[in-house]
Amino acid sequence: MQQADPSDSKANWNQRESVLLARYAMHSCDSQGREHPEHGHPYRGPFQRDRDRILHSSAFRRLSGKMQVFTGDMGDYHRTRLTHTHEVASLARTIGRTLRLNEDLIEAMALLHDIGHPPFGHCGEDVLSDCLKHHGGFSHNQFAMDLVTKIEQRYTDYPGLNLTHEVLSGQQFRSDKRNSETQMLEIQVVDAADSIAYDSHDVDDALKLGLLEWRQLDGLELVERAKRSVPLDSIEESLRRPLLVHTLLDLQMGDFLRHSSQLLEPVAGLTSQEVCRACIKLQMSPGIEQEKRQLERFLFENVYRHERLVEVRDKAAMRLRQLYKSLADHPERLPERARHWARSWGNERAVGAYLAGMTDRFCDEQYLLLVEMGRPCGVDWS
């Protein structure tokens, strides 16, 4: 097969984007590039390469062993952190294509958005944040940056995945949302898709797991709106749940797209940077936004604080905290790689990073071996 000429490929790429993307999209030719410059690829654009680097990273694969809201021992129907990530990427790409934004950049940032979650979801994050409160704290968004700039190893000359400035700044924006300078439309789309995905699938999972009953949803405005679209009450239960979730997704996606399209109309002639400076905020219409907030408050009170989840989270928090203490008190028990980090970052942050990279099951195994059975040394992530 004849090798493609990289210079032709770049010209074709830019031409393709100039036809398909709106002016306010982030065009690949305007990318600020990578910390370590690279030659262009024969047939992939810079954001496609970022997407592939994230997809092929070990931290991404470990998302399959990390809980979203419900733990693995509660069943195998509900979302894991990995399936949630794919749902977010799918919704975000749909929005991006409809609004003529850069779909490759959106996909890369969507696949990255939850990669820094520690074991046991937000409960794990709270424990690590508390354990590290005198050592810089912990946030999953910041840990995602550490993973792709310091911890993942792919190249001989430097650590990390050498992602483009745009993908990194999108993730950095998630770490510090007060920084309005970095609000590219593409990262706003990922944020919106994340919220649309989890509000909808948490209803689905909670119903399936029996944490919610149908009657509890009565009176929720977004659910009532869904019932006006489809006759949910007259449909058999096995079909009612997927239909509700599908309708909730559709209502939120449709409204976000309609409202955001209207917001973008007056700025159609601006570039990506100009739209950032103008602080254009993509969002749903105020009515649906309010109904969505009501659903979120309901989920917070009735699902995330459900006694079955609280019990699971308390146990997980206890194990993670004891594992942290055991390793922080005896850093010589860290595996070699984490001892190497400790020399640069200090013991506490190295222990935090080692724990944050674990899957739920690996964390449980290490707790059993190191804390309960007193094994002398931990092992590196599998």
User: To the nearest whole angstrom, how small is the minimum distance from the Cβ of residue 194 to Mg ion?
Assistant: 4
Tokens coding 215: 């009657």
Contact yes or no for 179/81 (Cβ under 8 A): no
Q: How far apart are CA 247 and CA 352, in angstroms?
A: 40
User: To the nearest whole angstrom, how small is the minimum distance from the Cβ of residue 81 to Mg ion?
Assistant: 8
User: To the nearest whole angstrom, how small is the minimum distance from the Cβ of residue 138 to Mg ion?
Assistant: 17
Tokens coding 369: 């071996």
Signed CA dihedral, 32, 34, 36, 39: sign only: negative
> Which CB, 67 or 334, lies closer to Mg ion?
67
Phi, psi of 17, deg, nearest 5: -65, -35
The stretch near Mg ion (CB under 5 A) out of 106-114, 172-180, 218-226, 343-351 is 106-114
> Which CB, 114 or 125, lies closer to Mg ion?
114
> Which CB, 144 or 232, lies closer to Mg ion?
144
Element (H, E) at 36: none
> Which CB, 114 or 199, lies closer to Mg ion?
114
Phi, psi of 324, deg, nearest 5: -60, -50
Number of amino acids touching Mg ion (CB under 5 A): 2
Residue 114 touches Mg ion, criterion: CB under 5 A: yes
> Which CB, 66 or 319, lies closer to Mg ion?
66
Q: What's the gap between Cα 291 and its chain centre?
A: 23
Residue 194 touches Mg ion, criterion: CB under 5 A: yes
The stretch near Mg ion (CB under 5 A) out of 12-20, 139-147, 191-199, 217-225 is 191-199
The stretch near Mg ion (CB under 5 A) out of 190-198, 277-285, 296-304, 373-381 is 190-198
Residue 202 touches Mg ion, criterion: CB under 5 A: no
User: To the nearest whole angstrom, how small is the minimum distance from the Cβ of residue 146 to Mg ion?
Assistant: 18
Residue 364 touches Mg ion, criterion: CB under 5 A: no
Phi, psi of 75, deg, nearest 5: 140, -175
> Which CB, 146 or 194, lies closer to Mg ion?
194
Identify residues 49-88 at the interface with Mg ion (CB under 5 A).
none
The stretch near Mg ion (CB under 5 A) out of 192-200, 203-211, 248-256, 271-279 is 192-200
Other C-beta atoms closer than 10 Å to the C-beta of 51 total 25
User: To the nearest whole angstrom, how small is the minimum distance from the Cβ of residue 303 to Mg ion?
Assistant: 16
* CB neighbour list of residue 70: distance below 8 Å, 6 or more residues apart: 78, 79, 205, 209, 309
Q: How far apart are CA 357 and CA 318, in angstroms?
A: 18
The stretch near Mg ion (CB under 5 A) out of 112-120, 246-254, 263-271, 304-312 is 112-120
User: To the nearest whole angstrom, how small is the minimum distance from the Cβ of residue 36 to Mg ion?
Assistant: 29
Indicate the length of the chain as a whole number: 382
Q: What's the gap between Cα 231 and its chain centre?
A: 33
Among the listed residues 362, 364, 368, the one whose alpha carbon sits nearest the alpha carbon of residue 381:
362
Binding site for Mg ion (CB under 5 A): 114, 194
